[in-house]
Structure 1
Amino acid sequence: MKTYIKGLLVLITVILTSCSDVIEVDVPVAAPRLVIEASIDWEKGTSGSEQTIKLSTSTPYFNSNENNVVTGAQVTISNDTDNSQFVFNDMNDGTYTISNFVPIADENYTLEVVYNGETYIAKETLIPVVDINEVYQSLDGGFDDEVLEVNVDFIDPVDEENYYFFKFREQGDLLPELLDISDEFTDGNKMNVFYEKEEDDDINQKEFEAGDIANIEFYGVSEQYSNYIRLLIEQYESVGDPFSTIPVALRGNCTNPANPDNYAYGYFRLSQVVKTSYTFQ
């Protein structure tokens, strides 16, 4: 009987092994497209003269090890009012830097990137931001009245259409939490934004506790960028939701006038930003 059972197990193993086939699926691969990461951030209290733009190319989803940095491009930003031009230096690692940029609030700027014989253009306005009035912790301002959150208060200017963008990140975390808001229903009033972290074993996330440090970045942004980042946040937060719409590549403001179909991914944004941090007590 034991011999029979052993022989049966060997037969089943052989059958299962012989029935396993490797199935290769052809995945459509799009042609590489230029990716422009051009966030010009002017931190309050600084000159804003040092700026960096990153260029790369898109890569196939299953080919993450490919070196996709872009070198040899020409990158310039021009002030549309006085025609002053700022030339970025190629650092040969995909980054392009400058140390004499002049940011002016509410001025219009044009980005030009020349790469592989193609010229990419983007236009934006440098949007100022108000000061933060107060940063504090509480238990009753968030979704869970037993979880600590950090609060940011500021006063929205009267009779102005304003759009704001926040980045919250606990020190030690890899990715920030993103938030975009407008003053559509709160024009001229005190505005409050909070950030809390609920315990989640699936992603190894813990609630804030005493000693934790939250870094905060508060940006003024244009309406166009607000619409763009809102869609990006919605797609990010819907990952894993079986009822969400299928994510698509978002089109930013980087155009290719001579070859419109070959536009670049990414966005050209100019913002004034307030940076601060809070240590929980």
Structure 2
Amino acid sequence: MKNYISLIIITLLAVTSCTDVVEVDVPTAETRLVVEASLDWEKGTAGNVQSIELSTSTPYFDLDSDAAVDGAQVNVTDLDSGDEFLFEGQGNGLYTTSNFIPVLYHQYQLEIIYDNETYLATETLYPVSDIKALTQSTEGGFDDEFLELNLYFDDPEEEENFYLIRYQEEGDPFPDLEDQSDEFTNGNEQHDFYEKDDDEDNNEQPFEPGDTVFVDLYGISEQYYNYIRLLIEQYYSAGDPFGAVPAPIKGNCINQDNPANFAYGYFRVTQVSRGSYTFQ
């Protein structure tokens, strides 16, 4: 009986000894300006209403900090025409204008003055082809039992083109992004497909009749293509033990007063063709 009681005491001691709280100091990076400046001109619209969001980076586990940046000076200049567009602060880090004039092949410069430092970025507005067709099939994807969405558009032959494709299923808060260039398909009809797997771990289910997908096709610069390609690669390799180690990716917003204090994010100017498809 004594041996039995002793065994219980030892077991309880072993269990309680495993409940000690271990506090680990998690390193935090220096706080930086975060720029979300995507001036997207939808084909068939004036493109005059645009917005830019500014915030600061926060620690990964900090869910309570207000990271919005207000009080900054934000403007965009058409370097070809000299037109200037002031983005007025609306609060909560949002800056807007209703006077923007998008002109194909013009170069635009973003200027942000924040915390007595000036950030500059330049981008060129390139055209994009119309979405030619959106269709469905089962035989063109990775699994011939699942529905996939097919996107078709024509690539111009006379120039080098780069594209960003954004797929978002209705009701899904997170889009899927793909980058594409015409390096090996210049001047030909372009085809891309979008398929979802049956993956319980990621709470993902294949498309079914009645599901709707929204598609955005952007014409982008080579500079932005190289940036977004790295960003997409890091995003989809997260959790892969054999993938590359994630690292901060610098955008094109350069701090003119203190280059070491660079900003996160990117200033892009794009033309976009939009469409949607509902599976039958």
Runs (4+) off by over 4 Å: none
CA contact (8 A) 2:131 2:275 kept: no
SS in 2 for 1:261: coil
CA contact (8 A) 2:131 2:274 kept: no
Query: Structure 2 CA distance, aligned partners of 1:67 and 1:229?
Result: 27
Please name the residue that 1:85 is paired with.
84
User: Displacement, 1:16?
Assistant: 3.0
Query: Within 5 Å, which residues of 2 pair with 1:16-55?
Result: 16-18=15-17, 20-55=19-54
Please name the residue that 2:113 is paired with.
114
CA contact (8 A) 2:68 2:93 kept: yes
SS in 1 for 2:229: helix
Please name the residue that 1:133 is paired with.
132
Please name the residue that 1:148 is paired with.
147
User: Displacement, 1:5?
Assistant: 3.4
Matched, 1:14 2:16: no
SS in 2 for 1:260: coil
Query: Structure 2 CA distance, aligned partners of 1:52 and 1:124?
Result: 16
Please name the residue that 1:237 is paired with.
236
Percent of residue pairs bearing the same amino acid type = 53
Query: Structure 2 CA distance, aligned partners of 1:28 and 1:210?
Result: 47
Please name the residue that 1:174 is paired with.
173
Supply the AA of the counterpart residue of 2:91.
N
Q: CA, structure 1 residues 19+141, in 2 after alignment: closer, same or farther (shift >3 Å)?
A: closer
User: Displacement, 1:19?
Assistant: 5.3
Please name the residue that 1:216 is paired with.
215
Please name the residue that 1:265 is paired with.
264
After superposition, what is the alpha-carbon deviation per residue over 1:84-129, rounded to whole angstroms, capped at 9, x for unaligned? Answer: 1000110111111111111111100000000010100000001110
User: Displacement, 1:82?
Assistant: 1.4
Instruction: Structure 1: state its 5+ residue gaps.
Output: none
Query: Structure 1 CA distance, aligned partners of 2:5 and 2:213?
Result: 61
CA contact (8 A) 2:135 2:150 kept: yes
Q: CA, structure 1 residues 22+132, in 2 after alignment: closer, same or farther (shift >3 Å)?
A: same
Supply the AA of the counterpart residue of 2:40.
D
SS in 2 for 1:201: coil
User: Displacement, 1:51?
Assistant: 0.6
After superposition, what is the alpha-carbon deviation per residue over 1:182-227, rounded to whole angstroms, capped at 9, x for unaligned? Answer: 0000010011011010110111111011000011010000001001
Instruction: Structure 2: state its 5+ residue gaps.
Output: none
Query: Structure 1 CA distance, aligned partners of 2:182 and 2:110?
Result: 28
Please name the residue that 2:123 is paired with.
124
Please name the residue that 2:249 is paired with.
250
Query: Structure 1 CA distance, aligned partners of 2:104 and 2:249?
Result: 27
Q: Structure 2 length normalisation: TM-score? A: 0.96
Please name the residue that 1:196 is paired with.
195
Query: Structure 1 CA distance, aligned partners of 2:173 and 2:9?
Result: 48
CA RMSD, Structure 1 to Structure 2 (Å): 1.3
Query: Structure 2 CA distance, aligned partners of 1:209 and 1:69?
Result: 39
Count of residues paired in the alignment: 280
Matched, 1:58 2:57: yes
Supply the AA of the counterpart residue of 1:239.
A
User: Displacement, 1:266?
Assistant: 0.4
Which of 161-170 and 134-143 deviates more? 134-143
SS in 2 for 1:230: helix
Supply the AA of the counterpart residue of 1:231.
L
User: Displacement, 1:4?
Assistant: 5.4
Supply the AA of the counterpart residue of 2:206.
E
Q: Structure 1 length normalisation: TM-score? A: 0.96
After superposition, what is the alpha-carbon deviation per residue over 1:116-175, rounded to whole angstroms, capped at 9, x for unaligned? Answer: 101000000011101111111111111111111111111100131000000001111121
Query: Structure 1 CA distance, aligned partners of 2:8 and 2:126?
Result: 72
CA contact (8 A) 2:137 2:148 kept: yes
Supply the AA of the counterpart residue of 1:93.
N
User: Displacement, 1:7?
Assistant: 5.4
CA contact (8 A) 2:117 2:256 kept: no
Please name the residue that 2:94 is paired with.
95
